[in-house]
Amino acid sequence: MKLAVGSDHMGYSLKTALLDTLREKGHDITDFGSFDPAPVDFPDIAKLVCGAVLDGTAERGIMFCGTGVGAGIACNKVPGIRATVCHDIYTAHQCVEHDNVQIITMGAQIIGPTVAEELIDLFLKAEFSTNGDFRRRVEKLALMDGSNGFSPAPPTN
């Protein structure tokens, strides 16, 4: 699978611990940085990973930061992207099956490479359900962020 991968400085160690393993499993990796442990702002890297997923350069993405939270927030600010923090086995596959998540985010301060590798495997093997309920809900998410050509009405007082 073609993957877009990125990290900030806090997620750098977990990302680099997994890159060779992901390549050995046959995945085509585009690494958008960071390329060393020097401080970098996660929104800048997240924007690049999201762009690759949206333009089809990558089928899915993985972002690493300290907790996974900041990277997840940044990714979800990009219209058309659905991202989630993933630190458990159920979320790893369910997020794709029910919510068609394209990007998972992980925290290097929360999990280690062995657990992260297992979660990534589950995430990459998962497929979006054909169940109409899940598909309808994901369509509503696209409407909410305007990625379907719909602009949400401004809030009223």
Q: Which two tokens stand for residue 148?
A: 């379907």
In the 8-state DSSP scheme, what is residue 154?
A: P
The distance from CA 122 to its chain's CA centroid, rounded to whole angstroms, is 13
Phi-psi group of 4: left, alpha or beta (phi > 0 → left; psi -120 to 50 → alpha; rest → beta): beta
In Å, how far are 27, 44, 66, 71 from 36, measured between CA atoms? 22, 15, 15, 17
In Å, how far are 14, 54, 77, 80, 95 from 149, measured between CA atoms? 37, 15, 16, 10, 24
Residue 45: name the closest of 82, 78, 85 by CA: 78
| Catalytic residue check, 65 | yes
Catalytic residue among 65, 75, 86, 95: 65
- Active site amino acids: 65
